[in-house]
């Protein structure tokens, strides 16, 4: 196939890029992240592939995949190339989707499509159900993470892979209506102010300046309450990105069955 004459120009026009895409003879995008941060993407993908391969040992033929908060489509492209029969990416920002569509068209991935949507507005009735859902690098940017997880769980029939930043664990007991009535709490949600980045139109923030970051036990509790039956935290691989290696970012395989 001949290289479209304006491909290199389009790569420049659509930049800056968050992800590094190898487009073969069509060129390559350069990530705007510092070199020491770029391994976050390859570590995340390696851990996603491990979870997906364990759940779908026969491969992704016949598997429908939803990539929630797909950004520029890095993981959508990976699942499409891995053989999923249909991959659908959704993101709240049109500027991300323009890049994702360009990559999909350039690589001629006919099993891959994109749509603008807020993860808190998704539902099985309007968007369908999927054997595999990806929920990567998104949860800790959300104002209403529990609502989003319930919606994603309702759309997942098999496996959901969740990757998120986490905060330090907090446990204790809280008064619950009277000083002698207490309830234990396990895990915490930290409120993070992303106003500076959000109002500067930073594409890496959520749909509001209020971010809610869970601790690991809070994340597990929320996933189970959302409707998943099993939650497994994956071990980071050798040479993992430093945050994954230190468990400041985690990857969960949340299963329906």
pLDDT band at 1 (very low <50, low <70, confident <90, very high): very low
Encode pLDDT of 30-66 as tens digits. Answer: 999 999 999 999 999 999 999 999 999 999 999 999 9
| Percent of residues, the chain, with pLDDT higher than 70 | 98
Would 154 be classed as within a structural domain?
yes
Residue 115 lies in a domain: yes
> How much is the pLDDT for 35?
95
Task: Flag whether 2 is in a domain.
Answer: no
Taking the C-alpha atoms of residue 187 and residue 90, their distance in angstroms, rounded to an integer, is 29
In a domain, 1, yes or no: no
> Domain containing 189: what range?
7-255
Residue 107, pLDDT score: 95
In a domain, 199, yes or no: yes
- Is residue 107 included in any domain, yes or no? yes
CATH number for the domain including 121? Answer: 3.40.50.150
pTM to 2 decimal places: 0.93
pLDDT surpasses 50 at 25: yes
Residue 105 lies in a domain: yes
Task: Band the pLDDT of 115: cuts 50, 70, 90.
Answer: very high
- Compute the C-alpha angle 107/113/114, nearest 5°: 115
In a domain, 71, yes or no: yes
Cα 45 from Cα 38, distance rounded (Å): 12
Q: What is the pLDDT of residues 159-169, one digit of tens each?
A: 999 999 999 99
């Amino acid at each position: 196939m001949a290289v479209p004459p304006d491909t290199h120009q389009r790569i420049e026009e659509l930049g800056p890029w968050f992800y590094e895409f190898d487009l073969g003879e069509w060129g390559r995008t350069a990530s705007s992240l510092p070199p020491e941060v770029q391994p976050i993407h390859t570590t995340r993908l390696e851990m996603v592939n491990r979870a997906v391969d364990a759940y779908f040992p026969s491969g992704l033929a016949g598997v429908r995949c939803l990539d929630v908060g797909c950004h520029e489509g890095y993981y959508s492209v990976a699942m499409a190339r891995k053989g999923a029969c249909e991959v659908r990416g959704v993101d709240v920002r049109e500027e991300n989707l323009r890049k994702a569509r360009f990559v999909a068209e350039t690589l001629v991935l006919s099993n891959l499509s994109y749509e603008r949507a807020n993860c808190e507005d998704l539902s099985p009735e309007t968007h369908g159900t999927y054997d595999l859902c990806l929920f990567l690098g998104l949860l800790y940017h959300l104002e209403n993470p529990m609502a989003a997880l319930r919606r994603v769980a309702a759309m997942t029939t098999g496996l959901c892979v969740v990757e998120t930043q986490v905060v330090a664990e907090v446990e204790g007991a809280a008064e619950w209506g009277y000083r002698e009535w207490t309830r234990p709490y396990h895990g915490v949600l930290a409120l993070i102010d992303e106003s500076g980045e959000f109002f500067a139109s930073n594409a890496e923030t959520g749909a509001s300046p209020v971010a809610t970051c869970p601790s690991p036990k809070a994340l597990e509790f929320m996933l189970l309450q959302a409707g998943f039956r099993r939650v497994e935290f994956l071990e980071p691989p050798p040479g993992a990105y430093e945050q994954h290696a230190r468990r400041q970012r985690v990857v969960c395989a949340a299963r329906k069955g």
